[in-house]
Every structure is written in C-alpha cells, then in structure tokens.
Structure 1
Amino acid sequence: MSVYDAIVVGAGVEGSSAAYHLSKNGKRTLLLEQFPLPHSRGSSHGQSRITRKSYGKDEFYTDMMMEAFPLWEQLEKESGTSLYRQTSLLLVSGPSDRNVEETQHALQTRNIPHQIIPSGRELKEKFPNLEYPDNYRFLLDYSGGLLYADRAVKAFQNEFKRNGGILKDGEPMLNIYPGDIITVRTTEGEYRTHNLVLCPGPWAPKVLEKIGLNPPLKPIKVIACYWKEKTPGEHGSSRFPTIIHCGGDIYALPAYEYPGLFKLALHSGPESNPDHRDAVDDGWILEKVQKYVATHLPSLEPVPSVKENCMYTLTPDSNPIIDTHPKWKNIAFGVGFSGDGFKLAPVVGKLLCELVTGRTPSYSLEPFRLGRFSKSRL
C-alpha cells in the first residue's frame, strides 16, 4: 500500500484550502469527503458569504485578511473564476458597543480605507432603506463585499486536482490509527499517510474523539433567510452593502443568490446534531429575525420567501482551533470556526499546510491553540 504525504479529511472550504496548499507545495495528497459533492449538510455550501478586513479588538484577524484578499485573487487567476464582488461592508454598533471605535483603530493603523457614519440620520441619507436610532454608530469598510462561496470551494478543489491531488467523495471516515505512519479507515478501505489534516466541520466532536481529544465544541443550526423587496432592485449588490450588526447578532447580504431576495439572518441558533439537524426547535429564530426586519429594514416583506439551513461549530471564545495533536504532531486540525471562517480559508489552509510540513506558521497561533481550553486555563 502506497503512503500519501498528506490526507485531508473534510472537503468544506477549510479542508479544500488545506489540500490545495499541500498539493501546491508538491505533497502527494488525498482529500476525503463523507458526502457526495456538492452537498448542503455542513457549513460551506450556498452561493455567498461576507468578506471584510474590519475586525475590532481581535486585530490579528485584520492582519490575516490582509493576506487572504490577495490569496483569493490568486485563486481567481489560477481558476479563471470570479470569486469576489466589492460592495463595502456596513458595521452597525449600538450606543454602548465599542466595536466601531475598536475597528476604526485597527483599520487606521493599517491604512485600510473606511468611513465613519456617526448617526442613524446620516446613515439614512446614504442608505434610505435602513432605519436605525440616531445614537447608533456605523463604519463602512470599503474592502467588504461578497465571496461567491460555492464557486470558491469548487475552485480550491479543481486547482487541488490540477496540482495532482486525489479527491474521493461519498466516502465516510470510520477510524484513525495514529503513528509515524497514520492509517485512515473509511467505508471503502484503508489509506496510509505521513501527515493528517482534519477539517470535519460540525462533525468535529465525533472525529476528534477518535484521537482522544474532547475540546469544547458546540454545533448549532443556523437558518439563512431571504426576504423579498417591496420595491424590486433597491437592495442589489450594486447599491447595497453587506451588513454586520455587532450587538444584534445579525448579518445581511444584498440580493444575489435569488433575484430580488435580500439575505438576512441571525448569527446564532440552537445546539444541534449535524446528522439530525432538523429535529431541533428553531421557531424562535424566525421570530427574532422578523422583528429585526420590521424595525430596521421595513422596505422588505415581513416574512422570508426562502429559508435554508446551515451549521456552525462554536467555541467558547468564538475563535477557531488551529493546532496539532498534543502527542502526534503529524496530525493537525482546523475546527470551530463559529460561522466566521469562510473568508479566512486561504490563510487557514496555508497554516494547516505549514503545521504538518514542519514549517514555522505564518501567524501566531496563540489565539487558536487547543491548550487555551485546558482546565487550568479555563
């Protein structure tokens, strides 16, 4: 049996990016996915995601995004596929929230173009369809926009295969046998590898348990809602920004996926088993989002026209876990992205590649280490 340089488990955006970087670095790599591709069971499906450089107190994300943007551009050139549309991003902050000030500091110190809108009245002059109190504050990050999610995942996978990588979908992993040579057993057979990268999305608790790890991960079900415009054409990506309401746990994207439907959803949801996600009570989500639309975007119809399910995997501090196994350094994992990892995928994939190839990580991994959740640290 031949031995791969690396095996990546999970062909969502993080795993596909890691496999792409490994193959670009000349590593003979196998990418395994439990479901037939494409599928909508995990966290990487759908046509659009928000991208931005604006982060508040966690300025290390701004630094990572300053590299992620050119890496996305590089993937666009390699794949011949458009992956990004600039719309600007509007950060909404209530009167007691410091996020706008913290984000402004991060952007100013890095000379990233942005604009402060100091009141709801001035925001309405710029975006007449938005209704917020006058004592709210707003920041426009001009780099913000849409990532074309389905296209992006496919581009990583296509370039991975073009670089000699092997992708096998519809093949669930059953077990892992660590060692200097790792054996991965699936429903179809066994594969051997020098290095293993695990990106199992909401199945992370079950997968990491196989190698003796039990980090505090909570999969939740999120519902993406799409709202019909009362006046067609007012919320398109040529006229409207993406939106993140920091205190309200709301995000929104201009009409793109469905003509005339504006995407707005709650960045939260009930804890859920990813294999039985439809069994949970999620009625309260719709109630909360409908109230938000009625209050702040009355230019939309009051009931969503389309609802789609997605899974997040949360950590207690909302930062992902990007690390190697405490005992077996040839096993790396990227899990727990808390609904905020898609835009970071080119950098996350690069970091995972660096971890299993013995290179110094491009960024400090202190905010992402598994050890931050040890009992003594907690």
Structure 2
Amino acid sequence: TALYDCIVIGAGIQGSCTAYQLAKNQQKTLLLEQFVLPHSRGSSHGQTRVIRKTYEEDFYVQMMHESYELWAQLEREAGVELHRRTGLLVMGPENGEGFSRLKATMQRHKIPTVFLEKQEFSQHIPNVNLADGNGALIDTFAGVLYADRALRAVQVNKRMFQSCGGVIKDGEKVIDIRPGAEVTVTTDSGVYRGRSLVITAGPWANTLLTHTGLQLPLKVVKINVCYWKEKIPGTYSVGQSFPCFIAMEPKEGEYDIYGLPSNEYPGLMKVSDRRDAAFKRTGLIKAMAWWLTLWCSVSGLTCVILDYRSPKNENSVIIYSKFGPIIGKLLSQLAMGQVPSYDLSPFRIQRFQSHARSSL
C-alpha cells in the first residue's frame, strides 16, 4: 500500500483547499470523498455564498484579510472568476450588543465601511425598508463568492490539485481509522496509509471522530435557502448593484436572515433564514420560486473548530469551518508540522470541555 504524506477526508471547499495547499508544497496527498463528485449532500455545494470582512470577532477579520488575497490568487491560477464585489448591507438594532460590536470591530480594523443614517438610507438602498430603531452599514469590499465554481476549480482544474500530483478518490466511504505513527484509513473500496490525517467532514465529522476517541458537541443543521421572485425584474440584481445583506434580529443576537442579489437565476433573489419557526411578517406574500438545502455542522459556541492531536491520534487535524483557502493554508501548516500563521487558540477543541458530552 502506498504511503501518503497526508490523507484528507472530505472534499468540500475546506478539504479541497487543504489538499491543494499540501500538494503545492510537494506533499504526496490523497483526498477522499464518500460521495461521487460533484454532489449536493454537504455544506459546500450551491452556486453562491457571501464573502465579507464583517465579523464581530477580531480574529475572523484578521484572517479574512489574507483570505481575500488567497481567493484572488486562486482566481489567477484557475483562470476563472470566483468573486464579484457587490458590497454587504448589514441592518440591526442600533443599540443592540451585536450590531454595536460589529461597528466597533469594523472601525478598529479600518475596514472600508459606509454607515448609513435613517434619513439617507433610502437614497443609497432603494426598495428596502429600514425598521425603526435599526442602524445600517455597508461593507464595501464584500461580495458574492461563486462556490460551485471555486470547488470545481480546486478539484478538477488541470493547473491545480491534480496537476501538483494530488490524488482524488470519490465514491469511497471511510469505515475505519487506525491511529498510530502512520494512520491507516479504510474505505469501502480500499486501505490507505498516511503520515498525517486531516478530517474536514462537515456533518459527518463526529461519525469519523469516533475512530479517534473523540466526540464534539456538534449539531447538524438543515438550512433551507429559498429563491424569491422579484416583482420588478432586475430590482435586486447584481446588475443594478444591489448588495448582499444581513438582517440581525434583536433577541437572538445572530445573523438570522441573510441573502444575495439576483445573480445565478435572473429575477430570483436568494434569501436564507436559519430559524425553524412559524411566524408572519407584515407585507410579505407567498412568492417563493425555488429552494435548495444545505447541511451544516455547528457547535454550541458559534465558532469554528480548527485543531489537531486527538487523544488516540497525535497526527490528526480536525476542522469544521467555512473560510476556504485560508483554512486550507492553516490546515496544511498543521499537517506538515509547521507553526500556523495565526493564533489558533479561539478554535481549539479544549474550549468545549465544559460543553462536551464525553471527556476529551
């Protein structure tokens, strides 16, 4: 059996970017995926995502600076447009803790931002109502990331992962992981050995982590993303410079509703609401045109997991995240035994000790 420098389990955007970074660094890399590619059973499929620097946490903003640079580098290497700048509109309770922290973080990091007063809001953002008591800001460098296109570029573009010697095996479900000086990974089609292991399995993370003696308090969440028909075609389109948006709710303190302008399906605006609750909003009528479903794994601490060395396997890296190429770079550094470019203490497994259902 061939010995790989690293085996990556899970070929979503995190795993694919990790495998690509490893292969670029002359690491013999195997990328395993349980489903036949491409597929729509994870959290990386779909045509578009929002890319932004608009976060409350300093460490996210710091990472996103380089993430933008790495996405631009991927565009150049693939020769494909992966990003379109539209701006991001954020609306939330003016005096709410979440919105206030967001504004403070943007100002602290000098992110190009436009703060809109109530009286000038309609001039900049026509056809949107700003609720009384809400503030608004625009992250001017945010935009649309073409998710499916990015995934295809990393996985199958002849100038990228496979051209660097990387190997992809899809349609192979992992059924066992044997820790040791060398990691042995068994799928329903073969057995593979590696000096290190990266797990980027999203909703299937805990199933795989069972083999490493670790269970994390992860919850699989179904997110329905709906496409809504514009009353006046083009009103909310990228062609009319309509931005992506986030509406922060006053009680939950989360980005409960977010959306993207009409783009991949002309005349249809993409909107997602994470909550599973029945309620009515005045002024809305049933006009949904199409929807898709995403499966995401989330932690109770609303922060990504980026860590390595499980109790039984000191050469394993575990990841749940959504930052694409910057995560790929960090994971490749960990897998190669290098010092990561950023302080990873906010992402460590250790912070779950008081929340975990089993001992770490």
TM-score where L is the length of structure 2: 0.92
Q: Tell me if the contact between 2:214 and 2:310 (Cα under 8 Å) persists in the aligned partners.
A: no
3-state SS in 1 of match to 2:288: coil
Aligned to 2:137: 139
Which consecutive residues of structure 1, in runs of 5 or more, have no partner in the other structure? 270-283
Aligned to 1:29: 29
Superposition map of 1:230-241 within 5 A: 230-238=231-239, 239-241=241-243
3-state SS in 1 of match to 2:205: helix
Superposition map of 1:38-77 within 5 A: 38-56=38-56, 58-77=57-76
Superposition map of 1:108-123 within 5 A: 108-119=107-118, 121-123=119-121
* Offset from partner CA, 1:194-226 (integer Å, 9 cap, x none): 010000011112111121111100001110000
3-state SS in 1 of match to 2:212: coil
Aligned to 1:365: 344
* Offset from partner CA, 1:260-281 (integer Å, 9 cap, x none): 0000111345xxxxxxxxxxxx
Q: Tell me if the contact between 2:115 and 2:137 (Cα under 8 Å) persists in the aligned partners.
A: yes
- TM-fit CA distance, 1:376: 8.5
| Higher-strand-fraction structure | 2
- Residue 333 of structure 2 corresponds to residue 325 of structure 1: no
* Offset from partner CA, 1:23-48 (integer Å, 9 cap, x none): 11110000000001110000000000
Superposition map of 1:284-323 within 5 A: 284=277, 287-288=278-279, 291-292=280-281, 295=283, 302-323=286-307
- TM-fit CA distance, 1:75: 0.3
Return the letter of the residue paired with 2:16: S
Aligned to 1:245: 247
Q: Tell me if the contact between 1:88 and 1:241 (Cα under 8 Å) persists in the aligned partners.
A: yes
3-state SS in 1 of match to 2:324: helix
Name the CA distance, whole Å, in 2 between partners of 1:305 and 1:26: 47
Aligned to 1:217: 218
- TM-fit CA distance, 1:59: 1.1
Indicate the RMSD between aligned Cα atoms, in angstroms.
Answer: 1.7
Aligned to 1:280: none
- Greater shift after overlay, 103-112 or 223-232? 103-112
% identity of equivalent residues = 41
* Offset from partner CA, 1:279-325 (integer Å, 9 cap, x none): xxxxx4xx55xx45x55xx6xx6321001111111101111111012
Shift in CA distance, 220/376, structure 1 to aligned 2, threshold 3 Å: closer
Name the CA distance, whole Å, in 2 between partners of 1:51 and 1:214: 30
* Offset from partner CA, 1:67-126 (integer Å, 9 cap, x none): 00000000000000100000000111124423343223322333321110132x432222
Q: Tell me if the contact between 1:100 and 1:139 (Cα under 8 Å) persists in the aligned partners.
A: no
Return the letter of the residue paired with 1:329: E
Name the CA distance, whole Å, in 1 between partners of 2:163 and 2:261: 33
Aligned residues: 347
2:265 to 258, 269, 278: 258
Which consecutive residues of structure 2, in runs of 5 or more, have no partner in the other structure? 250-254
Return the letter of the residue paired with 1:101: S
1:128 to 111, 126, 130: 126
Return the letter of the residue paired with 2:293: N
Q: Tell me if the contact between 1:34 and 1:172 (Cα under 8 Å) persists in the aligned partners.
A: yes
3-state SS in 2 of match to 1:331: strand
Name the CA distance, whole Å, in 1 between partners of 2:355 and 2:259: 39
Name the CA distance, whole Å, in 1 between partners of 2:26 and 2:44: 26
Name the CA distance, whole Å, in 2 between partners of 1:7 and 1:167: 10
Aligned to 1:275: none
Name the CA distance, whole Å, in 1 between partners of 2:91 and 2:32: 39
Shift in CA distance, 231/377, structure 1 to aligned 2, threshold 3 Å: closer
Q: Tell me if the contact between 2:94 and 2:100 (Cα under 8 Å) persists in the aligned partners.
A: no
